Amino acid sequence: MDKKRTNPRKDLNETAFSIVQQAIGEAEKERPTLTGKKADSRKGGLRGGKSRMESLTKEQREELARKAALARWGETAPADEAGAGKAGSTKQR
């Protein structure tokens, strides 16, 4: 049976050549172009965080940073744990 390939693949030599080119930095890795909803989503995501931070006040940014630190480190920050000397108070990850 003769099967038609819809996605022609590179042969072994072409694949090896492209890997060597990428390794030595002569060729960039091919990235598929985004279209439709994915492109719109990425575009909005790239500028969303920056514009959100610009719209917040200093106090709001400090509160977000405080909440993020608590979510990551728990009730005590790493600097507090190192100098506290409390038995069993260190949190291991």
The answer to whether the beta carbons of residues 93 and 72 sit under 8 Å apart is no
| Per-residue model confidence as pLDDT tens digits over 25-60 | 776 666 777 778 887 787 777 778 888 888 999 999
| Per-residue model confidence as pLDDT tens digits over 3-15 | 655 556 778 888 8
Q: What is the pTM of this model?
A: 0.36
